[in-house]
Amino acid sequence: MAVPVIAAPSQTAAPRRERASGLWPALAAPGIVWLLLCFVFPLYVVLCIVFGQVDPLFRTPIPVWNPVQWDPSQFNYVLTHIVGADGIFGPALVRTAVFVFAASSLCLLIAFPVAYYVARLSGRRKGLLLALLIAPFWISYMMRMFAWVNLLQNDGIVNKVLSFGGLFTMHVDWLTGQPVVVILGLVYGYVPYMILPLYAGLDRLSQPMLEASRDLGADRFSSFWRVTLPLCRPTILAAVLLTCLPMLGDYFTSDMLSASPKTAMVGNLINDSVHAPGRTGQAGAFVMLVFLVALLPMLYYIRATSRRDEVAS
Amino acid sequence: MRSPVAWWNDPWRPPRFLVGITIGYLAWSLLPVAIAVLYSFNNGRSRTTWQGFSLRWYWGDATLSVWHNDALHTALIQTLKLGVVTTLITVPLGVLFAIGIDRWRGRLPAGANFLMLLSFVLPEVLLAVALLFVITTIALPIDLGTTAQVIGLITFQVSYPAVLVRARLATIGPQYEEAAMDLGASPLGALRRIILPMLMPAIFASTVLVFADVIDDFVLVRYLSGDAATEPVSVKIYNTARGAPTPALNALATLLLLAALTAVVIGFLVYRYLTRGDTTTKDRGIGAFAGEV
């Protein structure tokens, strides 16, 4: 009697799974179709416009759908104007790299200690602190930038505080093309996106491992350097990527806090050319450039998260 | 007084340095917003000098307040409309997609999963420009405006419920579904009566998160907005922030903040109610709700 009871599930389960095989594709189909139509196809349209023609009269872009007939002249125009004598786009690209690097380093410098404290040492106050850390997520980015516009105006609080209530005359024009202000704005805007993944990683860190390292004679620093850091290296990388990638396409922070071409980033190049007649192809070319630069980090991030899912399941 | 060496070697000394950084960070991140909210109640036109408390910029002022100024309350209504419509379409789409992708084995679903994650990390401005190109260069029956904004937002947000639901599916494991099917349920029946109820907290959390994210969105909605009537609050703030706005703009931003925080707080309370007695999300509190998985 016992044998068929054990054998039965596997025998009946197999045909059931077979029957179910049509269900899962049917569930996934709307999402797949949506992603193909509204995600993959638009990216292809960008290519068709970058390598397409421009209407000689109206200066509107004419997409060329056949890759064989693609004309690289618009893309070449952008590439040849990055370096050299007519390198009009070069400074903004270099600035983007510098701003993103500086801002994400500062983000990490702030985010790591905060996430470490809240995840591992805050004890009973953890829930409250975490709620406060998450709060900036639900405050519109524009509102947070606008808050700084208020503070940094010529008669704003920052200048008032710096002049100690009229003791000195401090009138710094913070909002007219100061690179430092834009970098700090980027840090302010994106640091919550770094803290949360770091918190999640540090929260999962194995406590027995750290205790073992101390028991085996490591002091505070070498235990941190040789156990904690290696254990959370993937987390740190993922957190840095999650902040760097949106920063690459940022143009509004510079617009809000400086509104000057002196702090223009590649996002501003896209934003300025996208509505300009005859320069739509340029905007597309910059979109492609950012996409190519972001591609490797994005692939790394996707691989890391997929691998984690496999381990989890 | 202890010697500095003893202080340094004491493993139980409080982490003052880290406490300081954390408090400093929280003040730095929240005070500017709090000040902006405070000045929305200012009785004068200034956003930097306090002139007494009033609700003038909410509805007191007959032409410039949020309540009476057409441009401002249109923006607020547009924001909420986009939030509700996008959420209602995104969440079912993402949930079904996640379940399908999770169970269906092969190259095609792996590729779809890759696309979904790519849309999650792609800088938003790239998608916005690409969709703008599609709508402006191809003769589609869709114009720039609410429909285009909703399409863009769904594309950008659909990965959110998908990621959350897949993470939840991984913690549930296959055993409940197998048990149901061994007891005679069809795959669809097991999905409907076992898996969907177990996914409810994740689905609910993603609903709230998508809504709160959509009403704060800026890049997509700006590129895909048609005229001033389809510009939501974030775009309004961007357009007027540098041009000497009145505190009515602070008031508008405060109302947006209030909408997002109300959604999240109510969402969190309901989420806690849904997950009571659930061991996998216990002790994770707001972290589990916010989807750090």
pLDDT digits (tens, 9 = 90+) for A215-254: 888 887 888 888 888 888 888 988 898 888 889 888 888 8
Bridge partner list, A206:
none
Task: Show residues of chain B in contact with A305, CB under 8 Å.
Answer: 117
Give the model's pLDDT for residue A15. Answer: 47
For residue range A141-177, list pLDDT tens digits in order: 888 998 888 888 877 777 777 777 666 666 777 778 7
C-beta separation of A285 from A75 below 8 A: yes
Residue A189 pLDDT > 80, yes or no?
A: yes
Task: Please judge whether A116 and B18 are an interchain contact, meaning their C-beta atoms are less than 8 angstroms apart.
Answer: yes
Residue of B nearest to A193 (CA): B292
Q: Which sign does the torsion angle of CA A118, A119, A122, A123 carry?
A: positive
Put simply, whether B212 touches A (Cβ < 8 Å) is yes
DSSP B64: T
Residue B230 pLDDT > 90, yes or no?
A: no
C-beta separation of A29 from B100 below 8 A: yes
Residue A7 pLDDT > 50, yes or no?
A: no
Residue B236 pLDDT > 50, yes or no?
A: yes
Task: Show residues of chain B in contact with A140, CB under 8 Å.
Answer: 215-216, 218, 233-234, 237, 253, 256-257, 260
Residues 6+ apart with CB under 8 A from B232: B75, B78, B79, B82, B149, B215, B217, B221, B225
C-beta separation of A288 from A50 below 8 A: yes
For B125, the token pair is 């401005």
Task: Please judge whether A150 and B35 are an interchain contact, meaning their C-beta atoms are less than 8 angstroms apart.
Answer: yes
> Which residue intervals of chain B are DSSP H helices?
4-9, 16-39, 70-103, 107-121, 124-137, 146-157, 159-172, 175-182, 187-190, 196-215, 219-223, 233-240, 247-274, 285-289
Test mutation, A140, A255, A258, chain B, max B CBs within 10 A: A140
How far CA A58 is from CA of A53, A54, A116, A141, B255, in Å, comes to 12, 8, 57, 36, 42
Put simply, whether B80 touches A (Cβ < 8 Å) is no
For residue range B45-77, list pLDDT tens digits in order: 777 777 777 777 788 777 777 787 888 888 888
